[in-house]
Amino acid sequence: MTTPPPALEVQGLRKTYHRAFGRGGHEALRGMDLVVPAGSAFGLIGPNGAGKTTFIKSVLGIVRPTAGTVRVLGGSPEDPAIRARIGYLPERLHLPGTWKSPAFLATVARLKGLKPDAPGLLRLLERVGLSDAVDRRIGGYSKGMRQRLGLAAALLGDPALLVLDEPTDGIDPMGRLEVRRILQEEVRRGVTLFLNSHLLAETERVCDRVAILADGRVLREGRLEDLARGGARWRVRFAPGAQASALEAAGFVPVGAPASESKGAPGLLVEGAPAEGVYVVDAADVTVLNAALDRARASGALLVDLRREGADLEAVLLGAVGSPGVAA
């Protein structure tokens, strides 16, 4: 069995935007290396000006790289045959306001070299939740509806790679659920998803791999659970009536307490609203954890809930970039 080539492979990618008449320039990408495995759901995050848009445009052949190589689905993005297998949703998709959605999709389908399939287009519109709006002009669509139509256009032709730039921007919470469901369906079908979203929770929920881009370079990249692994901190909830002093003596720290004593991973805070019976405990392994729990139970405390506490994506990003100016 052969390993499929990566959906996206970038080596030493540099892009410098030169000003007119050679008056200096701006280096947007400074030697970027990245591999996106086929079939993965990959999220790209980073602060403003990190080079994310330039990177996506380079991947799609919209921007010509200054140096480095880009291989998409095993070929060059300049090859139309390769781009035919890519579905792309730009961040600010400009749609023709006087058209209706089936006509727009039909045009995109023709540009993708697909055979005319009006029922197929209607099914696609139904899938993205626009079946009620097929007779309306696009100019009258809400922002969310436009995003859904853009997503439908990206999904045309069953692409092998979906490059989505802020796909849930402007969509209401229920709509986000729908979009998330569609993306997850696509990933399950084996489609590689490359997602750029400023909604880190969205990325966290959809993607299994993440790269953090800052200042034109990839700072961290890997499986989400590996990046977010917080170390040995556990969140425990005991039934009301547990003796706080006994629990604290057993190594449990109530949530909301100062974090100075925490031995967790850097950047982790024992924060949150103080809640009765909720504690955290640091345990290097399960033996230590069970010993601590045994001590708590010995003091009469009854365990209600136990879960491992890891770092969320925002914390991972903050930890990587070290700056509060976080955005997609």
Partner 1 sequence: MDSRRRRKVWLGGALLLFAVAAVMMFWGQGDSGPPPAPEVNFPSRMRGPDFERAEKRRTWVMPTLDAGVAQAPAKPRDPLLAALPRGPGRTAVVIEANALRHSPLGELLMACLMRDGGKNLEQFKALSGVDPFQDLDRMVITDEGLILSGDFSKARYQELLGERVSSDHGPGARVYEAGDTALPLSDGGTRRGRMDNAVGTWNNQMLVVGRNPDEVKTVLDRMDGRGTEQGPPLLDENSTYGEMYGVLAVSQIAKLLGPGQQELAQRLVDVAQNVELHLDTSGDVAMVANVSGMDADKMTDLGKSLGGMLSMARMKAQSEGNTDLAQLLDFAKVRPDGTSFKLELAVPLEAIQQQLAWCREERKTAESQQAAP
Partner 2 sequence: MNPVFVIAGYVLREAASRKFILAFMVGLTLVLATVALSLKLEVVDGALAATRLFGNVVRANIVSVDVALRPIFRAAAYLVFYGGILFGIVACSDFAPGLLSPGRIEHLLALPLQRWHLLAGTFLGVMTLAVGGTVYAAGGLTLIFGVKTGYWTVGPLIAGGLACVGFAAVYAVMLTTATLVRSAALCSAAGFVLLVGGILAGFRTDVSRYLEAGVGRASFDAVTLVLPRLSALAVGAADLASNTPLLPGSLGMLLGGVLVFGLGALAVGFWHFEGKDC
Give contact residues for partner 2 (rule: CB under 8 A). Answer: 17, 57, 60-64, 80-81, 83-84, 86, 88, 90-94, 96-99, 103, 107-108, 110-113, 150, 153, 163
For partner 1, the closer of residues 11 and 184 by Cβ is 11
Least Å distance between CB 150 and partner 2?
8
Q: Which C-beta is closer to partner 1: that of 14 or that of 137?
A: 14
**Shortest approach of partner 2 to residue 277 CB, angstroms?**
52
The footprint of partner 1 on residues 72-91 (CB under 8 A) is 76, 78
DSSP annotation of 306: E
Side-chain-side CA neighbours of 281 within 13 Å: the count stands at: 28
Does 158 bind partner 1 (CB under 8 A)? Our answer is no
Closest to partner 2 by CB, 98 vs 260, is 98
Q: Are 152 and 110 in contact, with CB atoms under 8 Å apart?
A: no
Going by C-beta distance under 8 Å and a sequence separation of 6 or more, which residues neighbour residue 133?
101, 125, 141, 145
Residue 279 parent element (H or E): strand 278-282
Which residue lies nearer to partner 1 by CB, 33 or 79? Answer: 79
CB 137 within 8 A of CB 97: yes
CB of 30 to partner 2, least distance (A): 17
Integer Cα distance of 227 and 247 in angstroms: 31
**Taking every pair of C-alpha atoms in the chain, what is the biggest distance, in angstroms?**
78
DSSP designation for 5: P
Q: How far is the CB of 218 from partner 1 (least distance, A)?
A: 26
| Residues binding partner 1 (CB under 8 A) | 64, 76, 78
